[in-house]
């Protein structure tokens, strides 16, 4: 099943081709024709009334891609159910856009090869619009193209081209890629046919999912003859044709996870044999040499392993890995750019701070110079002032010396009086020290008395608590003793009642035993009476018979009715009758 993104890419090219004015909008009549063709190519049932209703003429004018996408998703892409020919869709969209964008005057490749490059571009382009192919995918495509024709890769030339491409945001649109291949910038020295073969091989691998192809000999299923066929290996099938132009298909074999491929021994004059075993059929093939056989076995086994693991074709998986790598690198690059911006902002901030600090330093230096000049002026003024003060001080000193000589005698008298006062002061200090010591001793004694009182109060409190605990323990013990006495008395009363009940039960048992003995004696007497009565009845002639349960054995009929006598009674009666019958004969 073709992915929706791959279907949208050729449709986007077709929509762009219909946009003649390059304004991003297309008339409704053209979109109606495009939608009709999409319905036909994608094999979607539709009604003309839907097209007429959606694309009827009104005052809204042309439709943009954003306006056409809801209709495209709802009425076309969501209705795709079965398989359709994706190459038919590519060819239809290519027909719409090729004539307006390609000029054959300077191209070294045919229109068919340009169409194949266009399909390869859609496969390798990014899933964003407008569609472009990045530098990594351009290099991947060019390398595969040169490998297909066994060409040499010129790394220096591609580096120069990449430098030029960096001026165009490191990407190309589809027409620039076709022009790059058509101008033969990287395929110089190759003729047109060789380039066409290389483009075709890359197209078959990437677009048609042909993983390997070539001539081999297969064994027939019915005639068992060996015929040379052109084989094409795809992820889920192997197709074989009469020749490499693939016009006449002779058969195919589907690959699944249950298939296997094995090499065979040479037989029937064929060498380099191997067999492909599947559930519906098997296929024996002969390769041209051992290397070819090994290559085909490895390629087929790789397809089977991929089917078992649920993987896609190798080139599709490689494309996905490259895209994920680019996404990761772009995320890391965006993160690095963000970090660089933050560092640049921080650097600019630091530069501003340094500039501010430099300005502050310049202002501080200017202020320091001004301060130094002011200090020098102040120092000069102070020196002049100190000089005048010094002269005044000399005059004052002379006057003071005269006054000192006059007052020296008074000072000696004053010093003598001071010594006397100092002696008096020492004596007063000693007296104060004695008084202070006495007061301190008194204070210590008072603290000791207070501590003793506190200790006595604490002991008294503890004694009162102990006394209260003893009182509570005594009261609790008294209550427990009363409860135990009460329980014991209740148990004694219960024991007395149980003894009385036991005595009464013993008496009742004795009475019941006596009654049982009396009943037993009565039963024995009744049984003896019944036995004697039965003997008496048995001696009579059956006028009276005790009613007893009848026997379950077969009953006998008598004059007295059915089952009137038992077998023993009948035997006894028969003996009596025989005896009565023999009595007259003996009398005679």
For residues 214 and 54, the model is more confident at 214
Q: What is the pLDDT of residue 587?
A: 44
Percent of the residues in the chain that have a pLDDT greater than 90, as a whole number: 15
Task: Supply angle C-alpha 264, 267, 268, rounded to 5.
Answer: 145
Q: Where do the DSSP E strands lie in 244-360?
A: 249-254, 260-263, 273-277, 282-286
**What tens digit of pLDDT does each residue of 250-295 get?**
888 999 889 999 999 988 888 889 999 988 888 899 998 999 999 9
pLDDT exceeds cutoff 90 at 217: yes
The answer to whether 118 and 175 have CB atoms below 8 angstroms apart is no
Distance (Å, rounded) from C-alpha 516 to C-alpha 519? Answer: 5
Residue 52 has pLDDT above 80, yes or no: no
Alpha carbon separation from 187 to 135, 146, 373, 397 (Å, rounded): 18, 8, 82, 115
The pLDDT score that the predictor gives to residue 510 is: 82
Q: Considering Cα of 80, then 45, then 119, then 19, what sign does the dihedral take?
A: negative
- Dihedral angle sign, alpha carbons of residues 132, 136, 142, 145: negative
The Cα–Cα gap between 102 and 121 comes to 15
How far is the C-alpha of 571 from the C-alpha of 579, rounded, in Å? 12
Residues 36 and 51: beta-carbon distance below 8 Å: yes
How many C-beta atoms lie closer than 10 Å to residue 87's C-beta?
Answer: 14
Cα(107)–Cα(118) distance, rounded to whole angstroms?
Answer: 14
Please state, in angstroms and rounded to a whole number, the distance separating the CA atoms of residues 304 and 255: 7
Q: Residue 301: its pLDDT value, please?
A: 93
Alpha carbon dihedral 182, 184, 185, 189, in 10-degree steps, equals 180
* Residue 214 confidence (pLDDT): 92
C-beta neighbour count of 293 within 10 angstroms: 20
Spatial contact of 541 and 558, defined as CB atoms under 8 Å apart: no
Residue 226 phi/psi, 5-degree rounding, is -105, 130
Question: Residue 473 is encoded by which pair of tokens?
Answer: 């323990």
> Is the model's pLDDT at 482 over the cut of 90?
no
| Of 237, 254, 243, nearest in space to 215 by CA | 243
- Predicted local distance difference test score (pLDDT) of residue 554: 57
Tokens of 456: 């006595």
Please give the structure tokens belonging to residue 396.
């004052």
In the prediction, which pLDDT does 296 show? 93
DSSP code for 72: I
Span of 199-208, 294-303, 462-471, 536-545 with lowest mean pLDDT: 536-545
Task: Kindly give, in sequence order, each residue whose CB lies less than 8 Å from that of residue 249, ignoring residues fewer than 6 positions away.
Answer: 239, 240, 241
R_g over Cα of the chain: 66
Residue 184 contacts residue 195 (beta carbons within 8 Å): yes
Range with top average pLDDT, 26-40, 83-97, 339-353: 339-353
Q: What pLDDT was estimated at residue 230?
A: 92
Q: Going by DSSP bridges, is the β-strand pair 561-562/557-558 parallel, antiparallel, or unpaired?
A: antiparallel
Cβ atoms of 100 and 13 closer than 8 Å: no
Using the predicted structure, report yes or no on whether residue 527 has a pLDDT greater than 80: no
Cβ partners under 8 Å of residue 268, min gap 6: 226
DSSP state of 550: P
pLDDT band at 172 (very low <50, low <70, confident <90, very high): confident
Q: Is 195's pLDDT higher than 60?
A: yes
Query: How much is the pLDDT for 507?
Result: 84
pLDDT tens profile 543-556: 444 445 555 555 55
The span from the CA of 499 to the CA of 176, in Å, is: 123
Write the CA distances from 307 to 40, 255, 276, 301, integer angstroms.
32, 8, 15, 10
Q: 409 pLDDT exceeds 90?
A: no
Give the residue from 147, 137, 91, 143 showing the smallest Cα distance to 118: 91
Question: What residue ranges do the domains of the chain occupy?
Answer: 4-208, 210-312, 318-415
Check whether the bond before 231 is cis (ω within 30° of 0).
no
Task: In whole angstroms, give the CA distance from residue 60 to residue 26.
Answer: 12
| Average predicted confidence (pLDDT) for the chain | 82
- Rounded distance, CA 252 to CA 240, Å? 6
Q: How sure is the predictor about 90, in pLDDT bands with cuts at 50, 70 and 90?
A: confident
For the segment 81-99, the average pLDDT, to the nearest whole number, is: 84
Residue the block writes with tokens 């390398």: 143
Residue 285: its pLDDT value, please? 92
DSSP labels for 124-191? Answer: HS-SSSS--EEHHHHHHHHHHHHHHTTPPP-HHHHHHHHHHHGGGTTEE-HHHHHHHHHTTSS-TT--
For the stretch 332-386, pLDDT in tens is 989 999 999 999 999 999 999 999 999 999 999 999 999 999 999 998 988 888 8
Q: How distant, in Å, are the alpha carbons of 40, 373, 383, 429, 504 from that of 80?
A: 11, 94, 108, 121, 103
Side-chain-side CA neighbours of residue 317 (13 Å): 9
Instruction: Say how many CA atoms lie within 13 Å of 14 toward its Cβ.
Output: 22
Q: What is the pLDDT of residues 293-309, one digit of tens each?
A: 999 999 999 999 999 99
**Alpha-carbon gap, residue 165 to 146, rounded angstroms:** 20
Average pLDDT rounded to a whole number, residues 453-471: 85
Distance CA 497, CA 541 (A): 67
Strand segments, DSSP code E, in 90-234 are 133-134, 171-172, 212-219, 226-233
Minimum mean pLDDT range among 109-118, 217-226, 569-578: 569-578
Between 540 and 331, where is the model more confident? 331
CATH architecture of 210-312: Roll (2.30)
Q: Contact 147/174 with Cβ under 8 angstroms?
A: no
Q: What is the largest CA-CA distance in the chain?
A: 221
First to last CA, the chain: 134
What is the spatial distance between Cα 32 and Cα 36, in angstroms, rounded to a whole number?
A: 6
pLDDT of residue 419: 86
Instruction: Tell me the β-bridge partners of 285.
Output: 218, 274
């Amino acid at each position: 099943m073709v992915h929706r993104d791959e279907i949208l890419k050729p449709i986007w090219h077709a929509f762009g081709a219909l946009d003649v004015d390059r304004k991003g909008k297309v008339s409704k009549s053209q979109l109606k024709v495009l939608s009709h063709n999409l319905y036909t190519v994608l094999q979607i049932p539709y009604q003309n009334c839907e097209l007429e209703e959606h694309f009827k003429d009104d005052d809204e004018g042309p439709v943009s891609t954003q306006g056409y996408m809801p209709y495209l998703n709802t009425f076309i892409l969501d209705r795709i159910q079965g398989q359709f020919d994706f190459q038919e869709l590519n060819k239809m969209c290519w027909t719409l856009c090729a004539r307006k964008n390609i000029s054959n005057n300077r191209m070294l490749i045919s229109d068919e090869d340009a169409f194949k490059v266009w399909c390869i571009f859609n496969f390798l382009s990014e899933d964003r619009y407008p569609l472009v192919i990045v530098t990594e995918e351009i290099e991947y495509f060019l390398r595969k193209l040169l490998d297909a024709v066994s060409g040499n890769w010129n790394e220096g030339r591609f580096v120069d081209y990449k430098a030029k491409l960096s001026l165009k945001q490191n990407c190309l649109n589809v027409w620039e890629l076709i022009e790059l291949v058509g101008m033969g910038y990287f395929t110089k020295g190759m003729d047109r046919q060789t380039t066409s073969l290389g483009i075709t091989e890359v197209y078959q691998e990437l677009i048609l999912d042909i993983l390997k192809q070539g001539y081999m000999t297969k064994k027939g299923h019915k005639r068992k003859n060996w015929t040379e066929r052109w084989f094409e290996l795809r992820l889920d099938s192997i197709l074989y044709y009469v020749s490499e132009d693939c016009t006449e298909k002779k058969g195919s074999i589907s690959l699944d996870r249950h298939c296997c491929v094995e090499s065979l021994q040479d037989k029937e004059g064929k060498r380099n044999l191997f067999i492909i075993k599947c559930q519906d059929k098997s296929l024996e093939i002969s390769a041209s040499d051992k290397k070819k056989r090994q290559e085909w076995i490895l390629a087929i086994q790789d397809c089977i392993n991929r089917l078992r693991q649920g993987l896609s074709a190798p080139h599709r998986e490689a494309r996905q890995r490259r895209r994920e790598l680019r996404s990761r690198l772009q995320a890391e690059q965006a993160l690095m750019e963000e970090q660089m911006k933050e560092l640049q902002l921080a650097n600019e901030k630091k530069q501003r701070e340094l500039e501010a600090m430099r300005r502050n330093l310049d202002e501080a230096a200017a202020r320091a110079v001004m301060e130094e000049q002011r200090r020098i002026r102040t120092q000069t003024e102070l020196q002049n002032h100190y000089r005048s003060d010094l002269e005044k001080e000399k005059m004052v000193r002379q006057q003071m010396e005269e006054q000192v000589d006059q007052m020296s005698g008074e000072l000696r008298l004053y010093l003598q009086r001071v010594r006397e006062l100092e002696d008096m002061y020492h004596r007063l200090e000693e007296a104060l020290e004695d008084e202070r010591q006495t007061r301190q001793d008194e204070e210590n004694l008072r603290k000791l008395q207070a501590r003793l009182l506190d200790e006595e109060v604490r002991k008294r409190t503890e004694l009162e608590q102990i006394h209260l605990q003893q009182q509570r323990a005594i009261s609790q013990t008294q209550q427990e003793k009363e409860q135990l006495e009460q329980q014991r008395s209740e148990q004694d009363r219960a024991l007395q009642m149980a003894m009385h009940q036991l005595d009464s039960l013993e008496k009742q048992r004795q009475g019941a035993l006596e009654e049982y003995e009396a009943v037993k004696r009565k039963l024995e007497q009744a049984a003896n009476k019944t036995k004697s009565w039965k003997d008496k009845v048995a001696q009579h002639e059956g006028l009276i018979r005790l009613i007893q349960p009848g026997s379950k054995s077969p009953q006998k009929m008598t004059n007295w009715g059915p089952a009137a006598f038992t077998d023993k009674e009948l035997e006894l009666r028969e003996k009596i009758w025989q005896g009565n019958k023999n009595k007259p004969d003996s009398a005679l």
